[in-house]
Each structure stands twice: as structure tokens, then as C-alpha cells.
Amino acid sequence: MKAVVITKPGGPEVLQLQDVPEPVPGPEDLLVRVCATALNRADILQRMGGYPQPGPKPPLDIPGMEYAGEVLAAGARVEGFSPGDRVMGLLVGGGYAEQIVTHFRLAMKVPANLSWEEAGATPEVYITAHDALLQCGLVAGETVLIHAAGSGVGVAAAQIAKMLGASLVIGTAGSAEKLAQAATLGLDVGVNYREQDFAEEVLKATGGRGVDVILDVIGADYWDRNMKSLAQKGRMVLVGLMGGNSTNANIGVLLQKRASVRGTTLRGRPIEEKGLATRAFEKSVLPHIASGRIKVVVDRVYPLAEAVAAHEYMGANQNFGKVVLRVGD
């Protein structure tokens, strides 16, 4: 079968489409013919040598943390899935390929209204956003700040926050165009971080109170302004470190505001934990995707053979929503 392999750490040019061995499923695995997969920031970090696949080192370094496709075979102990089912789910890696194997507890059936490209763009960012907001204990009536509102996680988080009953959703992005697109998905207040101080805009929008919850993918560069933006007893969850992981922080503000900060990732969790996050998403969010209330936003689609171009495009930070790789015909 064909797969995109990282031949060495580096830029997009190190990605090569190669012939690789077909995966062999175990008794609790599904063998899936991949129809679509999507790019995530972690793929770029993995390509650059900074975020290897967790667990034992695989024989080939194939990126891809999510998939959508058709079940070809199901192991003897698999429950709830059969050959021919349309499925999607999380992976630790290997999604840029014509076939994958995955534990059945990490798979979900694809709603009938989703295309393969939309399904392939769903699992990683929507489960991440839902899980992060649950970890913050977001409840109806609270206010939320979401950074990178045009990213895959940001697009998902704004809609899920509204679904959970947030009274005010504020988002940051680097262009008026992205903020306008986010507004069509429920963003109440958009802040152009290139032109505005987001902390000042948050305080203005909340009457000086600050927000109850912050979902941050930036990290160190935003720490001080995030602390300024938090309300008393506010909660912040870090799901990315695009702005660095080291800062000289005044942690006294956490005491003053009785605030809490936590970090989270999905990729390195045990199957049991990822399975619980998958089922929670499947129960609470997936019905709203199936009904059309929550939109899966696909910015651009490339064939698998053009993974280099897809990485170049995503690296330029021009996308709103997900960049997808179509696999097969």
C-alpha cells in the first residue's frame, strides 16, 4: 500500500509517498481502508523531529492522528463494528496511508450527512476541544476565550462552547477574514491579535470581570495577558504551545484570583482514556454534527500524493478550519 513517510526531520520536502507493508490487525482491531485524513499541528512538529509518536518507535515514521474510512475486517473480539461500516477516529500516528489498524474502542460510525473529507477532519480537533472544555468544567451561562479561533481546535471549541451554553464566546485570530468566518459559527466577539490587545478587549467585553474559561493553544507568549483576562475563580486549559513553553511568569495572580491552570493532550493517553473521551464526544457532540447544528469546516483538500503542498499551506497559517488529505479515488 501507499503511505506518506517522514524520511528525516525537516521541512515539508522530507515527506515522501512510498510503498509500505500493509498493517495487520489484532483481535480487538479494525482494519480500515482510509478515505481521508487531516493535518494537525502535531504532524508538523512530528515532521520536524519535535513530537515523535508515543510508545515504541514504529519501523516507519508515518504521520496522521485521525482518519475516516471503510472497515475492511474486524478482529474476533471487536464489538459493534462490521466490514463495510463507515468509521472515523483517533490515531497515535499512521493516518497518511491507504490502510490503518485501530482499536475498536477508538472508532465511531460516521454520520450519514458527512462526506469522507468532513469525517476525516472531525476526530482530533472536536474531541480535543470537547474534552478540554469539560476539563475546565464549563457550564451554561459562563464566558469563554478561545485562542486561534480560525484553527481546527478553535473552530470546534467555539461551537461546542455555545452548545454547552456559554453566554459569551470571545476568540482571537490574525485576520479580519478569519474572525468574520468565526462569527458565522457563533463567535460573539472577535479580536485581531495583530492589531488589538486581547486582554483589554476581553475586559471591555465582560465589563471588567474577565472570562470564566480560557482555551489556549499558544502558551508562554500569552501567559500574562491570559492571567489578566481570567475572572475570579477562572480556569484555563493549555492544549498547545505554539508560542513557546518557557516564560518568567508571575504566578501570584493564580492565588489572587483563585484561578486554576491545567494542561492536556490526547495523543499520549492510554486507549482506555482516549476511548472514554471518544464516547463522551460521540454522545454529546456527534448528534449535533449529524443534525448540522455544529459544522465541520474543511478549508482545503489535497490528494495524499500532495502531502508536501498540504504541509506548506498549513505552515503558512492561512487556513480556516482543517486541511484534509483525500486518500484513494
| Span 298-308, average pLDDT | 98
Which of 212, 242, 263 corresponds to the end of one domain?
263
| Residue 315 CB burial class (10 angstroms; 0-12, 13-18, ≥19) | middle
| Closest C-alpha among 6, 98, 102 to residue 59 | 6
Instruction: Identify whether residues 131 and 257 lie together within a single domain.
Output: yes
Q: What percent of the chain has pLDDT over 90?
A: 86
Question: Per the structure, how many domains does the chain have?
Answer: 2
Least confident range from 31-45, 238-252, 262-276, 301-315: namely: 238-252
Report the pLDDT value the prediction gives residue 296, as an integer from 0 to 100. 97
CB 258 within 8 A of CB 232: yes
In this structure, the answer to whether residues 17 and 101 fall within a common structural domain is: yes
pLDDT at 50: 87
Whether residues 32 and 106 fall in one domain: yes
Q: Are 118 and 133 members of one domain?
A: no
The verdict on 136 and 252 lying in the same domain is yes
Lowest mean pLDDT among 55-59, 117-121, 170-174, 272-276: 55-59
Query: In the chain, what is the straight-line distance between the N-terminal and C-terminal CA atoms, in Å?
Result: 14
307 occurs within a structural domain: yes
Q: In this structure, is residue 284 part of a structural domain? A: no
Mean pLDDT of 221-241: 92
The answer to which of 27-41, 106-120, 150-164, 238-252 has the lowest mean pLDDT is 238-252
Residues 188, 108, single domain; the answer is: no
Give the number of C-alpha atoms closer than 13 A to the C-alpha of residue 90, restricted to the C-beta side.
Answer: 25
Residue 23: CATH number of its domain: 3.90.180.10
> Does residue 19 fall inside a structural domain?
yes
Task: Say what the pLDDT of residue 299 is.
Answer: 97
Is 285 a domain residue? no
Using CA atoms, how far apart are residues 271 and 266, in angstroms rounded to an integer? 10
Which residues 6+ apart lie within 8 Å of 143 measured at CB? 166, 167, 168, 169, 170, 206, 209, 211, 212, 213, 231
Same domain, yes or no: 184 and 161? yes
Q: Where are the alpha helices (DSSP H) in the chain?
A: 41-47, 116-120, 123-135, 152-163, 176-183, 198-205, 223-229, 252-257, 271-284, 286-291, 307-315
Same domain, 130 and 259: yes
Contacts of 252 (CB under 8 A, 6+ apart): none
Within a domain: 167:
yes
Classify 168 as helix, strand or coil: strand
Angle CA 136–142–147, to nearest 5: 60
Reported as a single tens digit per residue, the pLDDT across 69-84 is: 999 999 999 999 999 9
- Shared domain check, 118 and 132: no
Domain boundary among 242, 263, 284: 263
Q: Comparing C-alpha atoms, which of 221, 200, 141 is closest to residue 191?
A: 200
- Other CB atoms within a 10 A radius of the CB of residue 240 amount to 22
**Nearest by Cα to 193 from 242, 253, 262:** 242
Domain that holds residue 140: 126-263
Question: For residue 145, what are the CA distances in angstroms to 30, 89, 115, 236, 252?
Answer: 38, 27, 30, 9, 21
